[in-house]
Amino acid sequence: MSDSRPIGVFDSGVGGLTVLREIRHQMPAEALIYLADLEHFPYGPRSQEQVRGLALDIIDMLAGMDTKLVVIACNTATAAALHVARERFDIPVVGVIAPGAQAAAAATRNSRVAVLSTEGTRASGEYVHAIREANPGIAVLSEVAADLVEIVEDGDADTPRADAALRPVLDRIFGWGADTLVLGCTHYPLLRPALQRVIGSRRLRVVDSADTTAARVRRIVAVNRIGAGEVPKPGPQPFAERTEILVTAAPSRFRENAARLFGEPLPDPRLVRPVRQGIRVAAGS
């Protein structure tokens, strides 16, 4: 029996599209809804209480759209809201921290893992807890690099500006002796060209949570027998296939940035507006 209901995915901006793309790759038959909360971008500097409220409102809205599962494709929002969301909503809610943490614990060879995240994610301590839950013998270094999310959203992920922001933090990570780096923000995989330049010939395993999160979503869908069950057409599945895009502000900016960063067109975003209980579609959008 197939379940054609969509999977909901959200983030504060374009970063969560790294997770959406991997879900599309691993589960090409599934319908997807992606929401970018650009009105409240970025989440990183906000308080956990504020981010929790924003995230719960978005999940409430996505649940109201009859999604069968919601992915919090934002590390800051995962840290702030995942546990509460799982208590509050009947549908499965998946975060991005545990999959990335488990992958890093499996990847390290010297038991020294660095996490590069936003200030909000670092302050939560969730990555440290998740990595040491996977292996209590691992030492964890939590690092923050200023403005990386804004650099990605500005379209400067593959520029000297990104290199300059990454260089001092990577020097600290190498000085500490890490052999594995977790990209603790879904925007950061878009910095891979800059990371490769700054890392150079030095050895560092780089882990991001997009593929591991998508794999977890795939397992949850299979175990609960809620897959779409359709045979996809051959070949790569573009973003636009079976995907709806929602934004809370700046739809033109989102469309331009996303197309530039991912090299393919997306469906035109539909503008939505926050309300106290969830989100409603703006009149005339």
Q: Please report, for residues 90, 110, 134, 170, 224, the alpha-carbon distance to residue 18 in angstroms, rounded to integers and kept in the order given.
A: 26, 28, 24, 22, 24
Q: Which residue matches tokens 């997009």?
A: 210
Query: Is residue 244 annotated as a catalytic residue, yes or no?
Result: no
Q: What are the backbone dihedrals phi and psi of residue 71, each rounded to the nearest 5 degrees, phi first? A: -110, 120
Query: Is residue 144 annotated as a catalytic residue, yes or no?
Result: no
51, 85, 185, 217: the active-site residue: 185
- Which residue spans within 12-68 are E strands per DSSP? 32-36
CA distance 123 to 48: 9
CA distance 207 to 109: 14
CA distance 270 to 13: 14
Contact 13, 35 (CB under 8 A): no
CA distance 8 to 68: 8
Number of other CB atoms surrounding residue 18 within 10 Å: 26
27, 74, 258, 266: the active-site residue: 74
Q: Is 29 exposed, middle or buried (0-12, 13-18, 19+ CB in 10 A)?
A: middle
User: Strands 279-281, 205-208: parallel, antiparallel or unpaired by DSSP?
Assistant: unpaired
Residues 6 or more apart from 63 whose CB is under 8 A from it?
Answer: 8, 70, 89, 90, 91
Q: Which residue matches tokens 């964890």?
A: 140
Which are the catalytic amino acids?
Answer: 74, 185
